[in-house]
Structure 1
Amino acid sequence: MNKLFSLLLVVVLCFSCNGKVEDSGTLVSTNKELYEAIKNVKAGDNIVLANGVWENVEIKFVGEGTENAPITLKAETPGQVFIEGVSNLEIAGNYLVVEGLFFRNGYTPTRNVIAFRTSEEKVANYSRVTNCVILDYNQKQRDKDDLWIQLFGKHNKVDHCYIAGKTNGGPTLRVDLKGNQSIRNYHQIVNNHFGPRPRKGGARGESIQLGSSFTSMSPSNTTIANNLFEECNGEVEVISSKTNFNEIRNNVFYKSEGSVVTRHGNYAVIDGNYFIGDGVNKNYGGIRLVNTGHWVINNYFYNIIGENFRSPLAVMNGIPKSPLNRYNQVTDVVVAYNTYVNCKSPWQFGVGTNIAQSDVLPKSEIRSARPIRTVVANNVIYNTEGDLLPVVEHDKADGVLFKSNIINNSDVEFKDYNGGLQNAKLELKKVSENISIPVGVPGEVTPYVGFEFNTITKDLAGNSRLNQNKIGAFVNADMPDPNILDKSKYGASWYSNEIAVKEANIFTVANAEELQAKINEAQKGDIIALNAGVIKFLNR
């Protein structure tokens, strides 16, 4: 009996030494153990990374799970597994889940930190990255591009992640459609917090890019929903939609120096989003439209004062017979049931026109094709201070139909577009610090019913439009505070994504030596002030 007990004890100890954890799966502590566990994985298995720093680890997570028995690669304790050094993660197979990892203090050795494929042939489907953080995971050379998350395959999901601090070139997240295995992908990018991304300068600084001009004729069917974009200042496009049938719903764009842009591709739905500025920074943008068939509905814009490309609503001129990588004409677009509060010149048409430079530009670069068959209806504009130009025509807006729009313009006269933009005395009902709803729309102003407007069945707050429809983003101002900036709604559950307001240190220097010393000492946000006089720099 004692011998049998001893034998069983040895067997249990052997399993323990190999990292077998009865409840949560296979616990691995080294790169070698991890690679071996992945090699032998089967549907329903869990691979658990031991708490601690995993340095210089290139993970190829390959497996075949099922809908009811996915394969999971997860942290022993969410947020306590740190992927550092020269490390990355590639996923291929079906029904795979990655959970609870923290990428920091390193950079990827490839073009992506997390890729939903291991090769052009082997992609991930029905797979998920959730409850993870990627923070300041930048290349050593700022001019070396990479992607932090790159999606291929179909039906994949990135959710409840915090992603912030990208300083080098390349979109933070990109959906690629190269090959039939990645079109009509129905990916979901939901409930994430895209935190601060500093100004990059120039292009290739998007937070999300959906496809490219080369795949702009392909259907993507990607959904971006319920995310917070906070101080995403990489470039003029926070989200760049470059494929067809994408949906951008119920997101919050907070003090982000850029816009949601339908750069290429057609038939996007931009529904129920909040765009929050401060009334001072002209770089905070809204929605910019290029191409065909988009619906912009139920959005709320507050204190957005950007101009041209960054205006609350920018509808561009296109290039006649445009190549794929330039600007197609805007056609068959609907802009309806949106609310604009204290937004300067919120509607701008013919943005980007360069007809005046036609003598010096090649014909293929002249943006002369004005928007056509475009409907702007049932919107509300409220200005505390009157706006001489609530609508700006950089080129004629003769292809735009204005219907049942209301403006409170504080007695300042404006062009009414054949009665399509009417004056009204409205009041503001404050719901929260960043949400005030105009109320008091005259009863005789009824919503315009255009083609398929009956499909707009809810307002921004989710209230039904079927029985009590009103113009603007909200049918009812008596609503609770939606707490759109409650950070607990977005990102990883274990990570504090509150952005601390740091008091800047101010250093005053009088000579080159002091300047160099303070440059070495200064932290992000600090200020170095130069005394009046001449500072000489010596060549060494």
Structure 2
Amino acid sequence: MKRNILLVIILICSFKNSFGEIYKIKRLEELKIVAEKLEPGDEVIIQNGNYSNWSIEINSKGTLEKPIIIKAETNGQVIFSGDVERNLFRITGNFINLKGFAFKSCTLKKAEKSTGVLIELNSTSNCKVSLCSFEGNIVKAQFMPLVIISGNGESNTIDSCNFISNVDNQDVQIKVTKESFPLNTKITHNSFSFKNKVSWKNGNGGECIQVGQDPVLLGNQTPKTFVSENTFTECNGENEVISNKSSGNTYTKNYFKNNDGELVMRGGHDCVISDNIFEGGTGGIRINGTGHLIKNNKISGIKTAIRLMYGMAKGKTETGFYISASNCKIVNNTISTADTGILVGDSKNADWTGKFDVKKYPSPVLQNIQPFDNEISSNHFKNVKIEILKQ
């Protein structure tokens, strides 16, 4: 055994750069050995090739000036595929950057004591996933994400990644629990595309981005996630392309093209939706909750551009499976080529009897509280049959 470990160490190619060591590796065993001794400024290069059956946790700590970089030899040429029943990459350190990996045709499964995840940043701070691609991956159980940011870390980033034609999955999940959630996550400059409708019976579990999981009991948690300058093209996984289920988040300067779904404030409060562009598809923006700011968005070619929903309860302290839209500002949006520009009061008197657990969620079942105290002003309409409809 000792001789084998020694041989692996010898096989690992390393040399110094101006910041730290550079390790060039091609085996999981090599990476595990290197991971135990990584220092600020070190760089790990995984050689080009096809890889499977990897699972590793990296708990190293870089610094702002000297992050630890783990990257592909050539962007897109280090390809992970095959069955995944655990975390492929689980990062638990700080200032670690993952760059340039391709995850293609992976099958994510649930095992007896583990769940397949491609990348998880768990209680990390200032870690980054960039220039990675996720294409044609499939999950075998509902509500399984490819990438998770979880725990009590902060200031992590998912940047310049491509999510293409993944199946039955959530792409990126910001995990919010009673005990923990990451602060100030940035999801920027990513592309999400060609996502077919999920096969799950209730049609849920196919979001591109989900920020929070329990809007009823945990919607007041404030992760302050920042989602900006991403593109969403033909993302048809479910009715919610982006699902917001927590508070204090910002969605700005994103581009939505021909999606069968909406940007949805399913739960939570005090979020900002600004300067986004929606072109074609089945929906624009859907609002439950209080204190949201919806401004400077451009929405065209969509039947109903902005929907303010009825709820079973109101405000930030009442419990309701849906919270009525209230105290929101819908200002300076430009809406064109629509049947209805802004609908104030959708799902009136919708009856949810038997559709959710009233013991877990002590909520009325009738969606009968209309939106109230919302400011709707200075919006611009062109070729819209009904500009503002209240019901």
TM-score normalised by the shorter chain: which range applies?
0.7 to 0.9
Change (3 A) 1:22 1:77: farther
- Please tell me the root mean square deviation across aligned C-alpha atoms, in Å: 2.4
Aligned-pair identity (%): 25
Contact 2:134–2:166 under 8 Å retained in 1:
no
Look up the equivalent residue of 2:211 and give its one-letter code.
Answer: L
SS at match of 1:37: helix
Alpha-carbon shift at residue 125 of structure 1 (Å): 1.3
Give the structure 1 partner of residue 72 of structure 2.
75
Alpha-carbon shift at residue 243 of structure 1 (Å): 0.8
Contact 2:312–2:320 under 8 Å retained in 1:
no
Q: Does 1:316 align with 2:309?
A: yes
Give the structure 1 partner of residue 221 of structure 2.
218
Look up the equivalent residue of 1:171 and give its one-letter code.
Answer: Q
Change (3 A) 1:17 1:321: closer
Give the structure 1 partner of residue 295 of structure 2.
297
SS at match of 2:104: strand
Change (3 A) 1:159 1:390: same
Aligned partners of 1:325 and 1:21: how far apart in 2? 59
Aligned partners of 1:107 and 1:27: how far apart in 2? 27
Give the structure 2 partner of residue 287 of structure 1.
285
Give the structure 2 partner of residue 236 of structure 1.
239
Q: Hey, which of these two has a bigger chunk of strand by percent?
A: 2
Give the structure 2 partner of residue 18 of structure 1.
12
Matched ranges for 1:200-215 at <5 A: 200=198, 202-213=203-214, 214-215=217-218
Alpha-carbon shift at residue 195 of structure 1 (Å): 1.3
Q: Does 1:114 align with 2:119?
A: yes
Give the structure 1 partner of residue 174 of structure 2.
175
Q: Return 5+ residue gaps in structure 2 as ranges.
A: 1-7, 110-114
Give the structure 1 partner of residue 5 of structure 2.
none
Alpha-carbon shift at residue 360 of structure 1 (Å): 11
Aligned partners of 1:329 and 1:78: how far apart in 2? 46
Contact 2:313–2:320 under 8 Å retained in 1:
no
Alpha-carbon shift at residue 17 of structure 1 (Å): 4.0
Matched ranges for 1:15-414 at <5 A: 17-23=11-17, 25-87=22-84, 88-109=88-109, 110-117=115-122, 123-139=123-139, 141=140, 143-152=141-150, 153-168=153-168, 170-178=169-177, 181-183=180-182, 185-200=183-198, 202-213=203-214, 214-277=217-280, 284-305=282-303, 311-320=304-313, 324=319, 326-354=321-349, 364-383=364-383, 387=385, 389-393=386-390, 395=391
Q: Hey, which of these two has a bigger chunk of helix by percent?
A: 1
Change (3 A) 1:366 1:179: closer
Look up the equivalent residue of 1:64 and give its one-letter code.
Answer: K
Look up the equivalent residue of 1:175 and give its one-letter code.
Answer: I
Aligned partners of 2:79 and 2:181: how far apart in 1? 30
Alpha-carbon shift at residue 325 of structure 1 (Å): 5.8
Cα displacement string for residues 172-222 of structure 1 (whole angstroms, at most 9, x for unaligned residues): 211012365525x00000000011110115111111111122421111110
Larger Rg: 1
Alpha-carbon shift at residue 21 of structure 1 (Å): 4.3
Contact 1:154–1:181 under 8 Å retained in 2:
no
Q: How high is the TM-score relative to the length of structure 1?
A: 0.63
Give the structure 1 partner of residue 4 of structure 2.
none
